[in-house]
Amino acid sequence: MSLKDSLVKVSEYVYQLPEETLQGQKVPVYFYLSQKLLELLEEEAIKQAGNAGTLPGVEKAIYVMPDVHVGYGFPVGGVMATDPEEGIISPGSIGYDINCGVRLIATNLTVERVQPIRRELMQEILRKVPAGVGSTGKLKLSKDELSQVALKGARWAVERGFGFEEDLLHIESGGALPNADPSKVSDFAFERGSDELGTVGSGNHFVEIQYVDEVYDEEVAKSIGLKLGQVTLMVHSGSRGFGHQVCVDYLKTAKDALKKYSIEIPDMQLACMPFKSPEGQDYFKAMNSAANYAFANRQILGFLTADAVRSFLNLSWEEFGYRLIYDLAHNIGKLEEHRVDGKRKKLLVHRKGATRAFPPKNLDVPPLYRDVGQPVLIPGDVGRYSFLLVGKEGSMDMSFGSACHGAGRLMSRTKAKEYVKKEGLEKVLRDLVVVARGKGTVAEEIPQAYKDVSEVAKVVDALGIAGLVARFKPLGTLKG
């Protein structure tokens, strides 16, 4: 019998893999899916989520978001919480691209003004914003300078003129996590990160010009400062080679720690160490350092993109209307308080391809949004839509305050390239404006390679995890 046959439908959009379905599985797994998305659910993703339920100190349940697909050890879209006293920390369950995340910037521009010049505008962004495999920026930093980035996060960038002080009020955790310690990061990670700040990278990362083409909640949209036809900028990037190397280094550490701490796991990709152990603490401090690097990276990227558009249109910053709406993290582990069995408890929440969706009144939500809930950004593909939602109370009980981070891949990169080779890139992209350093990345990132993000957002909204506010349609996209 397949694992999909073992799923129990609890209610519309909720499917449970009961505890003990897999040997040693201590907690149930909940998948949040529509019927259409259930049909796309991979057998291996179910197994990965169930395997995570066997890890020491895992609490309450594993939650899997509607954009789920197979990842390294733990599925992308997976949320797992462990007891920080008795449980583990798992690098593979946080991910290689630590604090990959999304940033949304509002402008005073209208779609009527930008639509006719979108091709020229994207070429200008391509010239001004470094992107692609191995892309490097104008900043070349020493280890000492990078250590400051790892401690200060987005503030480091603002202090050097990349953005404004008020930006820091609109970033998750203020753009800097407190438990960073650059001394726990390897020299090779510093070497890899030395010239990559302010770069997009490759894969599914992007910089996009969009406009608001649908508003679902007029009141919340107005309070956030968005209206129909308004042009926005979206940035999706992470910690580049710096964070990737942190994950590589500590996966080796975790594998060595298994024997030392007598931890048995069903899959070596779930290698982990006790959170309280020296190895676990070292990784946590290094992971936070990489997360802060990513916050600084997106701060610079967002500012460079906005400045490229503003300069091209010969506008002052005031005329341009730059305003950061929000910047949030996925691929991260955070110490948070949640309710388990009716009691408040500190947990280490692993979010892999998942992001916070904290509700109104939560003190971790910036004051500007505390009455409406934390902004949740769900980017789509280059041809369809992206969404803004706000966190709802249901998220705290249903997913440790988490929502999904994107559409989720449907085709592997290899299959996407084969599809393009068969159909032809021009036919596949139609009139979409997509710019990149090389055609290979564009072929991997075609709309057909992704699930329909509107289906994903619909599930999150229907379950009361986060409520739909607005939809954005791409005008042009820069891919790595």
- 59-105 pLDDT per residue, tens: 999 999 999 999 999 999 999 999 999 999 999 999 999 999 999 99
Place 257 in a pLDDT band, splitting at 50, 70 and 90.
very high
Q: Which residues pair with 478 in a beta bridge?
A: 207, 435
Give the pLDDT confidence score for residue 442 in this predicted structure: 82
Q: Is 361 left (phi over 0), alpha (psi -120 to 50) or beta?
A: left
Place 410 in a pLDDT band, splitting at 50, 70 and 90.
confident
Task: Tell me the pTM.
Answer: 0.96
- Encode burial over 319-352: b for 16+ CB neighbours within 10 A, e otherwise: ebbbbbbbbbbbbbbbebebeeeeeebebbbbbb
Q: Is 80 exceeded by the pLDDT of residue 440?
A: no
Which pair of tokens denotes residue 107? 């402008």
Give the pLDDT confidence score for residue 132 in this predicted structure: 54
Catalytic residue among 236, 244, 350, 405: 405
The yes-or-no answer on residue 205 being catalytic is no
Place 423 in a pLDDT band, splitting at 50, 70 and 90.
confident
Q: Is 70 exceeded by the pLDDT of residue 262?
A: yes
Give the pLDDT confidence score for residue 130 in this predicted structure: 74
pLDDT tens, position by position, 373-390? 999 999 998 889 999 999
Query: To the nearest whole number, what is the mean pLDDT of the chain?
Result: 94
Q: Which residues pair with 354 in a beta bridge?
A: 404
Answer with the residue of higher pLDDT: 428 or 337: 337
Distance CA 136, CA 479 (A): 15
pLDDT tens, position by position, 125-175? 999 987 655 665 677 899 999 999 999 999 999 999 999 999 999 999 999
Please tell me the chain's helix, strand, coil percentages from 3-state DSSP, rounded to the nearest 5.
40, 25, 35
Give the pLDDT confidence score for residue 322 in this predicted structure: 98
Give the pLDDT confidence score for residue 383 in this predicted structure: 86
Distance CA 77, CA 452 (A): 15
pLDDT tens, position by position, 267-320? 999 999 999 999 999 999 999 999 999 999 999 999 999 999 999 999 999 999
Give the pLDDT confidence score for residue 451 in this predicted structure: 87
Q: Which residues pair with 355 in a beta bridge?
A: 330, 403
Domains of the chain, first to last:
3-410+450-479 (3.90.1860.10)
Q: Is 70 exceeded by the pLDDT of residue 439?
A: no
Task: Evaluate whether 244 touches 97 at the Cβ level (below 8 Å).
Answer: yes
pLDDT tens, position by position, 43-66? 999 999 999 999 999 999 999 999
Nearest to 163, CA basis, from 289, 305, 294: 305
Give the pLDDT confidence score for residue 447 in this predicted structure: 86
User: If you average pLDDT over residues 315-333, what whole number do you get?
Assistant: 98
pLDDT tens, position by position, 176-232? 999 999 999 999 999 999 999 998 887 789 999 999 999 999 999 999 999 999 999
Task: Evaluate whether 419 touches 428 at the Cβ level (below 8 Å).
Answer: yes
Distance CA 211, CA 376 (A): 17
Give the pLDDT confidence score for residue 467 in this predicted structure: 98
Distance CA 367, CA 384 (A): 32
Give the pLDDT confidence score for residue 135 in this predicted structure: 60
Q: Is 90 exceeded by the pLDDT of residue 409?
A: no
